[in-house]
Amino acid sequence: MNKKTVRRGLAPYLLIFVIMIGILYFINLANVKVNYLSYDEFMTQVNKGKVTEITITPKSNASVYEIVGKTSDYDKNESFFLRVPLSDQVMNQVLSASRLKSFTINTKADPSSSTILLFLANVLPLVIIVAVAFFFINKQMGNANKSMDFGKSRARLNEDKDKVTFKNVAGLAEEKEEVQELIDFLKNPAKFQKMGARIPKGVLLVGPPGTGKTLLAKAVAGEANVPFYYISGSDFVELFVGVGASRVRDMFKQAKHSAPCLIFIDEIDAVGRQRGSGIGGGHDEREQTLNQLLTEMDGFGANEGIIIIAATNRPDVLDPALLRPGRFDRQVQVSLPDKKGREEILEVHAKNKTFAEGITLKNIAERTVGFSGADLENLLNEAALLTVRRGKKAITMAEIDEAHDRVLMGPAKVSRKYTEHEKKVVAYHEAGHAVLGIKLDGANEVQKITIIPRGQAGGYNLMLPKEETFLSTKNELLETICGLLGGRIAEELIFKEVTTGAHNDFEQATKIARAMVTEYGMSKLGPMQLEQQQGSVFLGRDYNKSRNFSSQVAFEIDQEMRSIIDDCYKKATKVIKENMDLLDLIANALLEKETLTKEQIKYLVNNGCLPNDDGEIDESDFKEASIDDLSIADLKDLAKEKGIKGYSSMKKNELIDKLKELDD
């Protein structure tokens, strides 16, 4: 614990103790009764023999003796007090009376003869009074300074000893190339100035949460070895109008003293939103802060050597003036990593973890389509926690699969029990998705099926694209819709009734169908974009869509959506009816195992049964299957191994023919 914290914690108790001692002292003083006597009255009491003891204290500075004593008539806390001249005659009279009347005489030294006592009696009280007064005045001045400090910049200077460099940033090869110029400029600005080139004043990092925008900005500062100030966009905005603008000015003032340097503003959309927008016409404090930021970046003042890096996942709400050349000159898209990028990110986070034999990061990267860098770090951390919890010495695929499910859906609801009928319905529902994923080339490939409840789902089917592509064809979208409808169709065919389990499936299928009609131009309405996303600046999220069409066109959109869903439903029903044996096989396996992996499903399809519990799946089991039964992705992998040129653009039938020709 901090020593200052300990002192602050003890101070109130010490103060209370001193106050208690003082109160007790004054109470005792109040109970003491002192009778003031003259010298004659004192001698009268002596002559009567009532005086029992006296204490004489000489006071040389006042030329008197102070006599304190008791008589036989006094109570315990009662005494008398008198002063007599400092002379030998008086003292001889007192000593003579003492010998005659036999009372005790005590003497004390003169306090004024001791320098320490003199200091304690005269100087120390004054010192205490001055110290207390100084303490309270200083405290009041400190509070006043704090109350006037709200206009100071909240930007903090990063002083970490372990600086982040590009070695710590994986999966962002193109993004690192984009910001490399900033590093070169900060290291050697004369090279650019000689050519007449102007380095970008601001770089905006745009991308989904968790993709590494903040990490990339720290790496730029670490590589350039320059001061790195960081601040959040929300740190500018305050209750009082003008405070944010003052903080912006102070931030650039600090940065000028450290130039060349970097300023990183995280979540800049908190302060950089469009001016004059939203309910009520805008926000004065935020807009003044933005105006000051615009002026500092590219106004009349020069900020040479100061480069601003900002990050946001909402570029659509930013003010256009913030994005014009001269301010944020360059936008760098930090997107979700591809398969290779995910493998590189996993290598960074797997350095201090122990994996069992046979676990490859490449395999994990293939299973984590759509994961960000933060998701991948969380995945390995969850796997490590599960390994410790289960008492294992190395991370196995079982922990990785469980961690994958936890990241996507949450922990398994083991205590939540199905009825036997519900369990069977869920098994056939998920098996319906799996059959369409296996039999349709354009549908997503089945990676894992489980009927164990997680989150709000009674079970789920992890289906990922067979290949990571930038574009989706119309046929792929239609077959994806078919795959989403497979669960409902299986319920209807087996149980002759439907449940609410397909709620999320319908939501996704409807979104795809509407986008095909209104955004992608994949319907009879032609190549027209009838709807587009329109972000609400005030709410900070998509609130509505602009619809520039008549009610007649709206009716036609609904008809086209209905036609797409109906056609996909009929096609999916036909496929499942033709593969009822496979549906029953997968459903019964799910009822037995509750969870099936991609490898187990492939073994099940090829052999008609699951592998033995005590044996591992042999890869040769997959190779015995006919070429006609392989998926498009497996066919392409096989074509690549055999060196077939142009395999990536071939259709399934062409690939099968080519492979058969080679076998013959």
Looking at the annotation, which residues are catalytic? 430
Residue with tokens 């509407």: 514
Q: Tokens 């968790």 identify what position?
A: 210
The answer to whether 37 touches 81, Cβ cutoff 8 Å, is: yes
- Within 13 Å, how many C-alpha atoms sit on residue 157's CB side? 13
Q: How far apart are CA 319 and CA 275, in angstroms?
A: 7
Contacts of residues 157-163 at CB distance under 8 Å and 24 or more positions apart, as own/partner, are: 157/227, 157/228, 157/229, 157/258, 158/218, 158/221, 158/227, 158/228, 158/229, 158/230, 163/218, 163/221, 163/222, 163/225
DSSP letter for 153, please.
-
Cβ contact 290:322 at 8 Å? yes
**C-alpha 437: how far from its chain's center?**
36
Q: Are 429 and 442 in contact (CB under 8 A)?
A: no
Cα atoms in the 13 Å half-sphere on the side-chain side of 221: 27
Largest CA distance in the chain: 147
Alpha carbons 496 and 44: distance in angstroms, whole number: 126
Q: How far is CA 228 from the centre of its chain?
A: 20
Q: Which two tokens stand for residue 366?
A: 């293939």
Which residue(s) pair with 546 in the sheet?
A: 532
DSSP state letters, 49-60: T-EEEEEEEEET
Which residues are CB-contacts of 199 (< 8 A; sequence separation ≥ 6)? 181, 182, 185, 189, 192, 307
CA–CA dist 248, 233 (Å, integer): 11
For residue 387 the two structure tokens come to 């390994």
